[in-house]
C-alpha cells in the first residue's frame, strides 16, 4: 500500500518560528498525529495515514497564518492547536487569535489564547457582571485587567477599582507596620503587575493620584456606591457570603464588574463557607450575570503547569468521588442496622 503524503510550502521567513528550536514543534506534531514531516528543498512533506496527514497539514497552515500575523509561536500554541484538531475545531485557533483586546506598553498584543478565554472575553463584553472561574494560569485576572484598562482608555468608564480580600491578614491590618497602602500592597501585587505591563508605571501613578484608579482591600468597599466604574474583585473564593453580598450590592449605574476566583485555592478558615460558592448557587439564573468556568485546558503558562493543574483536578475529582461513595456506604450501613430486628 502506497504511503499517503502531501507537500506544503512554508515561507522561509516563517520556517524557524513554526519548526521551533531544534524542530521541537514539528517533533511534537509528529508524535501526536503519528505522521512523518520532512523538509525537502523548501517544501515540507507530511506522510502517514490520510486522516492524520490532513490534520497535520491544516494545523501547519494555521501556524503559518499565526506567524504571518506576527505571533511568536510557542509550545502552548502547538499543544492547544493539536487538542482542537482532535476535536474537529481546527478553525477555532485563528478565530481566537483575531480577537485583540489591547497592547502592552512594549507593543505586545493581548489576546485570548484558548476557547475558554475567548468565551470569558465575549461574556465580559456582553454582560454587566461576569464571574471568571478556573485554576491558576488561565489568565482570569490579566484578561480582566486588559478589558478594564481598554474601557478606561476609551472613556467607557470614569475609573477602575481593583479589590481583593486580604484574607492572609484577616483583613485586620492594624498589626502590620506602615500606612494603609504599604500594608495592603503585598496582597494586591498581582493587580499592580498587570497594570504596569498594560498601562505603564507613569500612567498608572498619575491616574492613581487623581483617584481614577483605586486599588484597595475588599473591606474598604463597604458603604459605597460605585457608579461608572470598571470593578474587578480578585481571589473571590476567599470572600465570605456576607462580603460577596456586600460587594455585589455596591454596584451602581454604568458600571461593569468582573469577579475572578479558583474554588480549589480557598484560604478561608476551616468550616467557613465561600462567598463565591454561594454566589454560583444564588445568582446562576440571573440573565445579566455570566459564570465562565475555565479548566486546565485554558492554562497558558508553561506546559508543565498545565499538566500539574490537570493532575490535581483529576486527584480532587477522585477524592470527591471516594468521599461520596463512603457517605453512601455509611448511609446504607445505617439503614441496614436500623432494619435489623433486635
CATH code assigned at 286: 3.40.50.300
Which has the higher per-residue pLDDT, 114 or 322? 114
Rounded Cα gap, residues 16 and 63, in angstroms = 12
Residue 68 pLDDT more than 90? yes
Q: Which of 72-76, 88-92, 326-330 shows the lowest mean pLDDT across its residues?
A: 326-330
50-59, 77-86, 179-188: which has the highest mean pLDDT? 50-59
Of 88, 92, 147, 142, the C-alpha closest to 122 is 147
Rounded Cα gap, residues 123 and 144, in angstroms = 11
Burial class of residue 162 (count of CB atoms within 10 Å of its CB; 0-12, 13-18, 19+): buried
Q: Say yes or no: 323 and 255 in one domain.
A: no
Q: Are 130 and 286 in contact (CB under 8 A)?
A: no
Rounded Cα gap, residues 139 and 40, in angstroms = 40
Q: Say yes or no: 73 and 108 in one domain.
A: no
Contacts of residue 112, defined as CB under 8 A and 6 or more positions apart, other chains included, come to 96, 99, 101, 118, 120, 121, 139, 143
Q: Say yes or no: 93 and 203 in one domain.
A: no
Residue 341 pLDDT more than 70? no
* 226: phi then psi, degrees, rounded to nearest 5: -105, 95
Q: Say yes or no: 235 and 331 in one domain.
A: no
Question: CA angle at residue 148 from 183 to 66, to 5 degrees?
Answer: 120
Structural domain boundaries, residue 237: 102-301
Of 164, 161, 275, the C-alpha closest to 219 is 164
Q: What is the mean pLDDT of residues 69-73?
A: 91
Q: Say yes or no: 190 and 321 in one domain.
A: no
- Other Cβ atoms less than 10 A from the Cβ of 266: the count is 19
Rounded Cα gap, residues 92 and 105, in angstroms = 28
Place of cell 503524503: 5
Rounded Cα gap, residues 249 and 272, in angstroms = 21
Q: Say yes or no: 10 and 51 in one domain.
A: yes
The percent of residues above 90 in pLDDT, for the chain, comes to 56
Q: Say yes or no: 80 and 217 in one domain.
A: no
* 125: phi then psi, degrees, rounded to nearest 5: -70, -35
Rounded Cα gap, residues 328 and 4, in angstroms = 54
Q: Are 179 and 126 in contact (CB under 8 A)?
A: no
What is the structure's pLDDT at 156? 95
- Other Cβ atoms less than 10 A from the Cβ of 142: the count is 20
C-alpha R_g of the chain: 24
CATH number where 35 lies: 3.30.1370.10
Q: What is the pLDDT of residues 134-192, one digit of tens each?
A: 998 899 999 999 999 999 999 999 999 998 887 654 445 554 445 555 656 666 777 78
Whole-angstrom distance between the N-terminal and C-terminal Cα of the chain?
Answer: 76
Q: Which of 50, 65, 97 is the last residue of a domain?
A: 97
Buried b (16+ CB within 10 A) or exposed e, 200-214: eeebbeebbeeebbb
By DSSP bridging, strand 4-9 and strand 159-164 are: unpaired
Q: What is the mean pLDDT of residues 94-115?
A: 92
Rounded Cα gap, residues 163 and 232, in angstroms = 6
Q: What is the mean pLDDT of residues 82-104?
A: 88
Residue 130 pLDDT more than 50? yes
Q: Say yes or no: 151 and 195 in one domain.
A: yes
Angle between helical axes of 75-86 and 303-339 (0-180°, round to 10): 50
Amino acid at each position: 500500500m502506497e504511503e499517503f503524503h502531501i507537500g506544503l510550502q512554508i515561507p522561509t521567513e516563517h520556517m524557524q518560528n513554526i519548526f521551533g528550536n531544534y524542530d521541537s514543534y514539528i517533533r511534537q506534531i509528529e508524535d501526536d498525529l503519528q505522521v512523518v514531516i520532512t523538509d525537502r528543498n523548501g517544501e515540507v512533506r507530511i506522510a502517514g495515514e490520510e486522516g492524520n496527514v490532513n490534520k497535520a497539514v491544516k494545523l501547519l497552515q494555521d501556524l503559518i497564518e499565526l506567524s504571518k500575523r506576527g505571533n511568536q509561536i510557542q509550545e502552548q500554541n502547538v499543544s492547544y492547536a493539536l487538542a482542537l484538531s482532535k476535536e474537529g475545531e481546527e478553525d477555532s485557533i485563528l478565530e481566537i487569535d483575531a480577537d485583540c483586546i489591547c497592547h502592552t506598553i512594549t507593543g505586545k498584543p493581548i489576546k485570548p489564547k484558548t476557547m475558554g478565554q475567548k468565551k470569558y472575553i465575549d461574556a465580559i463584553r456582553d454582560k454587566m457582571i461576569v464571574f471568571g472561574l478556573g485554576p491558576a494560569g488561565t489568565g482570569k485576572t490579566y484578561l480582566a485587567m486588559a478589558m478594564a484598562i481598554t474601557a478606561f482608555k476609551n472613556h467607557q468608564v470614569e475609573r477602575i477599582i481593583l479589590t481583593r480580600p486580604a484574607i492572609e491578614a484577616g483583613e485586620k491590618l492594624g498589626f502590620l507596620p506602615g500606612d494603609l497602602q504599604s500594608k495592603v500592597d503585598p496582597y494586591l501585587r498581582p493587580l499592580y503587575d498587570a497594570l504596569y505591563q498594560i498601562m505603564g508605571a507613569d500612567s498608572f501613578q498619575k491616574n492613581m493620584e487623581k483617584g481614577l484608579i483605586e486599588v484597595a482591600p475588599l473591606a474598604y468597599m463597604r458603604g459605597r456606591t460605585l457608579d461608572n466604574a470598571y470593578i474587578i474583585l480578585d481571589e473571590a473564593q476567599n470572600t465570605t457570603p456576607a462580603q460577596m453580598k456586600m460587594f455585589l450590592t455596591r454596584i451602581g449605574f454604568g458600571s461593569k464588574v468582573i469577579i475572578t476566583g479558583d474554588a480549589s485555592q480557598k484560604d478561608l478558615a476551616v468550616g467557613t463557607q465561600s462567598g463565591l460558592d454561594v454566589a454560583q448557587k444564588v445568582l446562576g439564573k440571573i440573565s445579566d450575570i455570566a459564570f465562565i468556568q475555565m479548566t486546565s485546558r485554558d492554562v497558558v503558562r508553561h506546559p508543565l503547569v498545565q499538566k500539574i493543574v490537570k493532575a490535581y483536578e483529576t486527584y480532587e475529582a477522585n477524592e470527591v468521588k471516594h468521599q461520596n461513595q463512603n457517605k453512601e456506604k455509611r448511609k446504607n450501613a445505617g439503614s441496614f442496622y436500623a432494619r435489623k430486628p433486635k
